[in-house]
Amino acid sequence: MVVYKRASEESELNRILALQQRNLYTNVPKEEQLKEGFVTVSHSFDILKRMNDVCPHIIAKDGGKVVGYALCMHPEFSNEIEVLRPMFDIIETRIPNIGNYIAMGQVCVDKDYRKKGIFRSLYQTMQNTLKSEYEQIITEVDAKNKRSLQAHYSVGFKLLSTHISGGQEWKLIGLGTF
């Protein structure tokens, strides 16, 4: 049985990192990227823990195994990960009256657990858990990651902006107001 909760142990953070590495775009064959999607950023344990200390990540667990996660990235970390800096710049300069938001720093579901509602449940848990603190969840998705975009739109995300950064097209999307 899959349980949804906030990450509270270092072992859970290590399991997030292991799942992340298995799904990192550099570790997933191109044809599988098109079909299954991929994650772009590889976090260090230090940054993942510091982010978790400010706003604990949402995880899906099956027994002791982390089978999915949605990372909570408070805007105070906007300068910590190079590839995400442009996202925060776009939010601040192009999105008027954004309100109080949390960035979803990355979402991933273990390959063996896909198409079982975990993606949707991670976001429902994130919304329910954070609605008293934040008006919106904002993230960006590589425009080439069609599977991820489709999944995000299916749970209610709306396009806020499109921009080019690092030679890639990105879709900035938001879910809110709760």
Q: Give me the phi and psi of 177, to 5 degrees please.
A: -70, 140
Cβ-contact 151, 66 below 8 angstroms: no
* β-strand partners of 58: 6, 70
Q: How confident is the model at residue 178 (pLDDT cuts 50, 70, 90)?
A: very low
Task: List for the chain the helix, strand, coil content (%; round to 5).
Answer: 40, 30, 30
Q: Which tens digit of pLDDT belongs to each residue from 120-170?
A: 999 999 999 999 999 999 999 989 888 889 999 999 999 999 999 889 899
DSSP conformation letters of 128-177:
HHHTTT-SEEEEEEETT-HHHHHHHHHTT-EEEEEEEETTEEEEEEEEE-
Q: Which tens digit of pLDDT belongs to each residue from 90-100?
A: 998 988 788 89
Q: What's residue 171's pLDDT?
A: 95
Question: What type of residue sits at position 128?
Answer: N
Q: How far apart are alpha carbons 141 and 157 in whole angstroms?
A: 11
Q: How far apart are alpha carbons 66 and 58 in whole angstroms?
A: 10
Q: Domains of the chain (ranges plus CATH)? A: 2-176 (3.40.630.30)
Q: How far apart are alpha carbons 127 and 133 in whole angstroms?
A: 10
Q: Which tens digit of pLDDT belongs to each residue from 73-120?
A: 999 999 998 888 999 999 989 887 888 999 998 999 999 999 999 999
Place of tokens 């550099």: 26
Q: The pTM is what? A: 0.91
